[in-house]
Amino acid sequence: MEDNKIALDVKDLRIRYKCLNMFSIRRSFFTFKKANEIVFEAVRGVSFSVKKGEILGIVGKNGSGKSTMLRALAGIFSADEGSIDLHGNSVSLLSIGVGFQRELTGRENIVLSGMLLGFSEEQVRAKMDEIIAFAELGEFIDMPVRTYSSGMHSKLAFSITAILESDIMLIDEVLSVGDSKFKKKSYNKMKELISDNNRTVVIVSHVSETLQELCTRVMWLHDGEIRMIGTPEQVLPLYEDFMS
């Protein structure tokens, strides 16, 4: 591994949401005027790089742009300005409510999710039994995902991404969901995965202990901007003081 090889490069990233004023929408039905459009900038000119093999944690209060950032890195949201360069790496996103077709079964979603990650159907089916065993969903694996609890959803999402290993793993609070037994198992699996020096990980979490143990650097996002970036020892105490 090249010590300074960059896996992920973000430059001047800006992501905006367009919101319609509800009062203006109601009024427009009667006056035929166009509803007022409010633009909210969730990510505001953010720039950072992540080296190959690095584990970057992201913290920030609710609404600071953390999940928006991860979805942009995963290609779900597009940048309004700036750029994201993955340097040819494959990327997967672990996040509740993202990526599954609710009417398809868990088994069908494994195939679909794997192919969306860039694996062939044959590659996914070769790992199918391992994914199902890790997820511990029993007969629910052949039931529609709409019947799953949030904990079951997280088990399946984690299992797919953990077994079908991508170059860059993006994790959005998934480790904090599920029963205590699975939480411990997934945490141990995550530690095993990120011990691979070729794998790059970006974790969004509100649990400082997780970031302290797993991460090499932490980035503090505040109102869509980077407030601080550094080692966990540098960033987390100041963030916790701010939040308290």
Q: Which pLDDT belongs to residue 188? A: 85
Please give the mean pLDDT across all residues of the chain.
87
Residue 44 CA to residue 153 CA, distance in Å, equals: 31
Angle between helices 121-135 and 150-163 (to 10 degrees): 130
**pTM score above 0.85:** no
Nearest to 85 by CA among 76, 97, 73: 73
| Distance, CA of 182 to CA of 5 (rounded, Å) | 34
Q: Tell me the percentage of the chain whose pLDDT exceeds 90.
A: 56
User: Given a cut of 60, is residue 97 above it in pLDDT?
Assistant: no
pLDDT attached to residue 195: 76
Longest Cα pair distance anywhere in the chain, in angstroms?
64
Query: According to the model, what pLDDT value does residue 27 have?
Result: 57
Mean pLDDT across the stretch 124-137? Answer: 96
pLDDT at 177: 58
Domain 6-89+167-243 top-level CATH class: alpha beta
Q: How far apart are CA 232 and CA 169, in angstroms?
A: 19
Q: What is the average per-residue pLDDT within 208-229?
A: 94
Q: What is the mean pLDDT of residues 90-97?
A: 78
Q: What is the DSSP letter of 17?
A: E
Greater confidence (161 vs 84) lies with 84
pLDDT score, position 33: 57
Beta-carbon contacts of residue 41 (< 8 Å; ≥ 6 apart): 14, 15, 16, 224
